[in-house]
Chains A and B, each alone.
Chain A
Amino acid sequence: MPPKGRIVVNEAYCKGCELCVGACPQNVLGLAADHITAKGYHPATLISEGCTGCGICGIICPEAAITIYREKTGVVRATS
């Protein structure tokens, strides 16, 4: 079983640049088509199951808008 993760996108910062969408190895990111942020952008969001909490989207995000969590398994994983 791959690790399970989730992300929280802070919409005060996200500008919908889509760099995370292109970088996500699981292809689970997209832009939310149903709403816009206060600045007028469609923000990034998880569009399907399968986030592993790998952290890649956080590495490319120019706005430091993404908080990333990974579910704990029996073994405690090191944080990066």
Chain B
Amino acid sequence: MDMIDNDTETLVYSRPNSLTDVSTHYCPGCTHGIAHRLIAEVIDEMNIREKMIGVASVGCSVFAYNYFNFDFVQAPHGRAPAMATGVKRVLPEKVVMTYQGDGDMASIGMAEIVHAATRGENITVFFINNTNYGMTGGQMAPTTLPGQKTTSSQNGRDVETQGYPIRAAELLSQLDGSSYVVRRSLNDPKNIRLAKKAIRMAFEVQLRGLGFSMIEFLSICPTNWGMSASASMTWLENNMIPYYPLGDYKVHPAVAEIKI
């Protein structure tokens, strides 16, 4: 925080302490930054920074450990939920989060996420759905929309040969082990506020020992989509939200009682 309230002005907003003073390598407008910021704000507000352990994944967010101002480990591609399982079981008093892209979590790491959820591991998973593999150059991901052009589906995703997108929140919500599974969007201030509230809820779930929580964030990748950041936000709204409806897919009755 660079300044505090003074006699004439109220501080409305400043950079959260749970982010380091480091400029990220993310492209201009990338919603990885919004997701990082919201997670950091909630950690500040809950005063749990000293309890946090993050598990970074492979993808554009591979350097997340440089940007969050708390302890982090870095997992092999897709294995963050397995690593988080070990960390949380050994250090149950810590708050353990993974931060994973859609290539990482819904493709190479599908086994790890499904089994962590079905075991009801008391961890929190932040899942960034930007419909492609950002880091490696915008290849098709399990979340790429039907007809969407990527560098490895140049005529548009053909569901006949390439299958249908995976709706991760719906899928994980079907497992008895999951406690809080929701989808939010980072496209506009209203949805960003709702996303922040869900992050708060997910950490509350973990702190109460209520088990597995996962938030899917509909996100943009302006660079690989070949659009400006604001055009990407509009594309998200018009194309992603209809296919990936926002909402609460699993709220265990014990979670529903939490008031925040």
Q: Chain A: how many interface residues by the 8 Å CB criterion?
A: 38
Indicate with 1 or 0, residue by residue over B154-169, a CB within 8 angstroms of chain A CB atoms. Answer: 0000000000000000
* Main SS class of interface, A: loop
Q: How many A-B residue pairs have CB under 8 A?
A: 103
Indicate with 1 or 0, residue by residue over B1-20, a CB within 8 angstroms of chain A CB atoms. Answer: 11101011111111110010
Q: What residues of chain A have their CB less than 8 Å away from a CB belonging to chain B?
A: 5-6, 8, 10, 12-13, 15-19, 22-23, 39, 41, 53-56, 58-72, 76-77, 79-80
B192 in the interface (beta carbon within 8 A): yes
Q: Chain B: how many interface residues by the 8 Å CB criterion?
A: 38
Decide: B26 and A59 in contact? CB cutoff 8 A: no
Residues of B within 8 A of A67 (CB): 1-3, 11, 13-15
- Contact of B23 (CB < 8 Å), options: A5, A39, A76: A39
Task: Tell me the complex Cα distance, A60–B220, Å.
Answer: 13
Instruction: Please provide the chain B residues from 30 to 59 with a CB less than 8 Å away from any CB of chain A in the complex.
Output: 30-34, 36-37, 40
Given A18-B29, A18-B229, A64-B15, decide whether A72 and B9 contact each other with a Cβ distance below 8 A: yes
Sorted from nearest, which 9 A-B pairs have the closest CB atoms? Answer: A62-B33, A17-B29, A58-B13, A15-B28, A17-B28, A68-B12, A68-B13, A64-B15, A69-B9
Given A19-B233, A41-B28, A59-B192, decide whether A71 and B34 contact each other with a Cβ distance below 8 A: no
Report the minimum CB–CB distance from B119 to chain A (whole Å). 34
Task: Tell me the complex Cα distance, A62–B28, Å.
Answer: 8
Residues of A within 8 A of B9 (CB): 6, 69-72
Decide: B33 and A63 in contact? CB cutoff 8 A: yes
- Contact of A55 (CB < 8 Å), options: B12, B32, B230: B12
Residues of B within 8 A of A59 (CB): 13, 189, 192-193
